[in-house]
Structure 1
Amino acid sequence: MIRNEFIDERTKKSIGLDEIMNNLSTLTDYGGKAKTNMKPYVREDIEELRLALEDLNTVKEFSENHKEILNELREAIHIIKDVSGSIKRLKGREALNEIDLFELKSQFMEIEKLRDLLIVSKEIYLERFKLNSSKLEIELLDPEKSGIKTFYMYDAFSVDLSEIRKTKREIEKNISLMKEKRREEVFDETGLMPSKNGENRISISKKVEIERLRSCGKVAISSESFSSLVFKVRNSNNLNALINKLDDLEIQEEKEEFKIRKILVEKLSRNVEKFEENIVAVGELDLFIAKAGYAIEIGAIKPIIEDGSSIEIKKGRHISTEIALKSKDSQITAVDINLSKGVTLITGANMGGKTVNLKMVSLIVSLSQHAMFVPAESARIGLVNFVYLSVGDEQSEKQGLSTFGAEIFNLKEVIAKSEEMGLILIDEIARGTNPTEGQAIAKAIIQYLKNKSSITMITSHFDGLCTIEGVKHLQVKGLSGADIGKMKRDVRENARYEMIFEKYMDYSLEEVKNVGLVPRDALLVAEIMGLSKEIIDSANEMK
């Protein structure tokens, strides 16, 4: 089983898994990449999954009990930027510029700060979050121990660099003094003091001043316009010699800096694996904190991962549905469900939440196998190798209409791998054709799947399916205990039918045996919603 076939994009969207993933608020690009690269754990990874869930539980408990320290950790994580490009160039031993070295130095200092916080917060400093020390790298890039993130080519990097810069400073000082002396000489000779940049700008109308400057051998015309002339102080031969020497020193300085950068790259590249391990650890820490935060937000719990092939969920909730109901001041009904290898058939009332139950099961299993906590009171999950969900589009606004042919095409593929220990969930099987043939096809598929190693859950309104030997039959309690008269009155007084049904509908499941017919409630629902009595009576006569 190829892991990327665990669940397809259509199903992720339908059950709300992609929405949950989007709601994991990571703080760094590293955490974002870790989230994007999340893969489901399958049966061969069971011990890794158990460890990941245990680690997540530790992070969740830490998040709940040490909020101030958690905020410090989040702040330390938040400032860590993505320097993957610089690391990649370092790995290839490419020449790094000062921007690359600045990024690396900043990263080393930020990770060292995070590492210090984690060491103090030892409960959360788990093996998967272990950070390699960056102290040696910080010392390498900050030889003068400035403690600032900005990278500078310090004199301390080499004796030659220090000597070159010392000589440069002396020459620059002498050049400045000689230029100042030259300005003073021009003033003494002409009575006109050049500006700091060595220029005299003279209006074309000032003939005397122009003539004085023309006769001075220490200046020359550098530019002229219709209104003025600009005279520039000429450098002496000694000054030009110093300037040429300074130019040579700048070339030497560039060469020495390039040499130093090569040495830095050589030394840093020896520990690239260590830096890459830190990137992974920061991404994991960021992602686990996001997972823990989301688990706290939705009231999720750690699922127990079973060795066998069964699924036991107590008071499970489908998050997207729960959020939608809360927005309408309503509450979701948490559902208990136990599944094992073979087929479980669910029947029951229209609008009884059967489709939501399918989505809830597939979501809880998928979250569990992505090492996330699940919205339930408890959950014991036997790992599956794939999740397949087929739901009716009239109950899923996120799907396009599917034909009977498309349904059978998809079923053909999943049935072919039903021995691969997957989770198969089918809503209203074979609904897209005539009832007689649909019932026959549904019965044949159930007969085929009941002895396979996959866990299959099917909803249907067809009679006769629940008497198939070896099939577990669950039924939505529905409106069986509701006060129908009161419900009708509420419907007449409130146009929001869905709220009335949510109030009176019992969405819980109960196992039933030796019941051949599925519940007959379509006419009752139609009557409650106000369909003409004449039509209702006529339909009852035709049953």
Structure 2
Amino acid sequence: MFKKIGFDYIVETLDIVSKLGKKTLREIEFSKDRVFLEKEYSNLEKTIKLLENKPKLYSILKRKLSSLKDISFTIERLSNGYILDDVELFEIKIFSMISQEIYEILGEEYRFLAPQNLEKVVAILDPDKNRIASFHIYSSYSIELSEVRKAIKETKDETLYETEVRLEDDVRKVISRKLLNYNQILKSSVRKLGYLDLVLAKANQVLKLGLTRPHFAEKTKIKGMFNPKVLKGLEDKNREYQKIDLSLYNGVTIITGANMSGKTLTLKTLGLVQKMAQMGFYVPAKEAELLIVDEVCVLIGDLQSLEEGLSSFAAEMLEVDNIIKKIKKGIRPLVLIDELARTTNPQEGRALLRGVINILKNNMIESVITTHYDQVGSDVVKIRVAGIKKSEIDDNVTFKNIEDYIDYSLIEVEDENVPEEALTIAKLLKIDEEIISESYKYL
């Protein structure tokens, strides 16, 4: 579903540089906890201000984060009482040194982003305070070990090697026991550094894509909503993107409009906005007030299942059935359906659509359905895409630029008639005139 609504593009545009950050991203859940989400937005807002006030800090932090390894497994071994080997001790040392550098860079002002203070961990693993990216059992760990190594160097007595190995093992045991006292703050720092990588990427994304902080309300009201991927594609072609306003009313909203009028894109973008908001992201809009829902149910596109031998219609009906069953269990989703029952005959298709609308309406489910059917029921909000800018049509219209002559804004209407613009579009595309004239006879 993420790919269907365009969330994959949001992930692609996140500048996450560490495995810890990628792991943190994978663990993000769709949340209904308003307090948690407001805290996420607050952290993101503070991070944006940090980047605006200290733009050079972003690259500094990202460079350090890119050097981090995920030492979770090593910490787990430490927590279970294992004696760590030199490679594992090296991993903890490097991690702790980088973590401490980040801790000191962020300082008190941005402590909410900082990892734990690992100065004592660094001191254990770097007793000589060299701050070198390497590790071995230093002679300074043990007077006895230091003397044995000195004797080996002076006498070349190979019988002392066995003693040296035994003393090194003793040191590893001592170091591991000392580090065990810090296993919890090491775990905390792993989490915090993963979060830091993610929240920095989200803040950078806000500035790059022009996202805004959403607010939660009793109904959804969005101004200047846009799809980031489509916007970028149009900008690359030096074309303008028309942002839209949309209000929902805790019930069923029907959107009508000709093909090419952006109905499906509106559904996808609305689903994207809701998903992003309830996953702690800023959203693609100028302003956004959203109703918190239990989940987002999206039914868009060709659902034909070749593997199971299902037609598009059969697969679509099973998806609708799944949504309705969730609702009857008490789940309150945002339901987004694109042209329900369009692949069956119009009479039955309209009947099925009205049946689904009634169930959604009776359960007060916030839902948006696009359709070409008219007369789909009462007590629903009806919205129409403004459509062709007939006053601006000229001889320069082609299939390559026809979208420039379409007004994608949404207009609330009272009647149940759908706009008849298909033949207008066909004429603009300059298809055979006989097709147009023959069609008008029946219209």
TM-score in terms of structure 1 length:
0.77
The alignment status of 1:32 with 2:18, answered yes or no, reads no
1:341: how far off?
Answer: 1.6
Matched residue type, 2:360: L
Matched residue, 1:447: 358
Query: Residue 100 of structure 2 aligns with which residue?
Result: 112
Q: Which residue matches 1:125? A: 111
Q: Identity rate of aligned residues, in percent?
A: 31
Distance 2:114 2:23 in 1: 18
Instruction: Provide, for residues 482-539 of structure 1, a one-character-per-residue CA deviation record: whole Å limited to 9, x for no partner.
Output: 236x33x113xx4xx1422x211110001111x1311111111112211222222221
- Paired residue for 2:118? 134
The match for 2:306 is none
* Equivalent runs, 1:256-405 vs 2, <5 Å: 256-306=167-217, 308=218, 310-393=219-302, 403-405=312-314
Q: Distance in 1 between matches of 2:297 and 2:311?
A: 16
CA offset at residue 247 of structure 1? Answer: 2.5
How much has 1:79 moved relative to structure 2?
A: 2.3
SS at match of 1:371: coil
2:405 maps to a residue whose letter is Y
**Superposition deviation, residue 118 in structure 1:** 0.8
Residue of structure 1 aligned with 2:409, choices 508, 527, 541: 508
- Asked if 1:490 is matched to 2:396, the reply is yes
2:4 corresponds to which letter in structure 1? S
Q: 1:145 aligns with which of 129, 140, 144?
A: 129
Q: Secondary structure at the match of 2:336?
A: strand
Structure 2 equivalent of residue 176 of structure 1: none
Distance 2:213 2:140 in 1: 54
Contact 1:315–1:335 (CA under 8 A) maintained in structure 2:
yes
In structure 1, distance between residues paired with 2:301 and 2:73? 46
Distance in structure 2 (CA, Å) of the matches to 1:65 and 1:267: 40
**1:255 partner letter:** R
Question: What is the CA-CA distance between 1:350 and the residue it aligns to?
Answer: 2.3
Quote the Cα distance in structure 2 between the aligned partners of 1:144 and 1:516.
81
State the one-letter code of the partner of 2:297.
Y
**Residue 525 (structure 1) aligns with:** 425
SS in 1 for 2:107: helix
Pairwise CA distance, 1:402: 5.9
Q: 1:402 to 1:458 in 2, by over 3 A?
A: farther
Counterpart among 157, 163, 166 of residue 252 in structure 1: 163
Cα distance in 1 between the residues matched to 2:236 and 2:132: 49
Q: Which protein shows a greater Rg?
A: 1
Q: Once the 2 structures are TM-superposed, how far is the Cα of residue 326 of structure 1 from its aligned partner?
A: 2.5
Any idea what SS the aligned residue of 1:405 has?
helix
Whether the 8 Å contact between 1:393 and 1:402 is mirrored in structure 2 is no
Does the Cα contact within 8 Å between 1:341 and 1:452 map onto a contact in 2?
Answer: no
Out of 128, 140, 150, the position equivalent to 1:156 is: 140
- SS of alignment partner, residue 221 of structure 2: strand
2:150: which partner in 1? 166
Equivalent residues of 2:382, 2:416 under 8 A apart = no
In the alignment of these two chains, the number of paired residues is 436
User: For 1:383 and 1:259, how far apart are their aligned partners in 2?
Assistant: 57
What is the identity, as a one-letter code, of the residue corresponding to 2:8? D
3-state SS in 1 of match to 2:390: coil
Measured after TM superposition, the shift of residue 423 of structure 1 is: 0.6
Using the alignment, how far apart are the partners of 1:321 and 1:402 within structure 2?
A: 30
Q: Which amino acid aligns with 1:154?
A: Y
Give the superposed CA RMSD: 1.9
- Structure 1 residues 288 and 326, CA gap change in structure 2 (3 angstroms): same
Q: Deviations over 1:381-423 (max 9, x none)?
A: 11111111112349xxxxxx96111111100110122342211
Matches of 1:132 and 1:65, distance apart in 2: 24
Letter in 1 for 2:92: L
Please give the alpha-carbon distance, in whole angstroms, between the structure 2 residues aligned to 1:279 and 1:347: 50
Partner of 2:375: 464
Aligned partner of residue 260 in structure 2, secondary structure: coil
Cα distance in 1 between the residues matched to 2:302 and 2:319: 15
**Equivalent in the alignment of 1:41:** 31
**2:127 counterpart letter in structure 1:** P
Contact 1:303–1:378 (CA<8 Å) still a contact in 2? yes
1:498–1:385 Cα change, 3 Å: farther
Tell me, yes or no, if the aligned pair for 1:87 and 1:272 is still in contact at 8 Å.
yes
Deviation of 1:278 (Å): 0.2
Give me the whole-angstrom Cα distance separating, in 1, the residues matched to 2:28 and 2:416: 44
1:320, distance to aligned residue in structure 2 (A)? 2.2
Q: Deviations over 1:210-241 (max 9, x none)?
A: xxxxxxxxxxxxxxxxxxxxxxxxxxxxxxxx
After TM superposition, give the deviation of residue 72 of structure 1 in Å: 2.3
One-letter identity of the residue aligned with 1:305: F
**Distance in structure 1 (CA, Å) of the matches to 2:120 and 2:442:** 87
What letter matches 2:385 in structure 1? V
Amino acid at match of 2:429: M
Given residue 40 of structure 1, which amino acid in structure 2 is its aligned partner?
F
Equivalents in 2 of 1:144, 1:318: separation in Å?
A: 55
Partner Cα distance (1:85, 1:447) in 2: 53
For residues 112 and 387 of structure 1, what CA distance do their matches in structure 2 show?
41
Letter in structure 2 aligned against 1:63: L
Q: d(CA) in 2 for partners of 1:318 and 1:255?
A: 64
Matched residues in 1 for 2:365 and 2:107: separation?
Answer: 45
Q: List runs of 5+ in structure 1 lacking aligned partners.
A: 1-10, 173-245, 395-400
Partner residue, 1:21: 11
The match for 2:442 is 542
For structure 2, which runs of at least 5 residues remain unmatched after alignment? 304-309
Matched, 1:415 2:324: yes
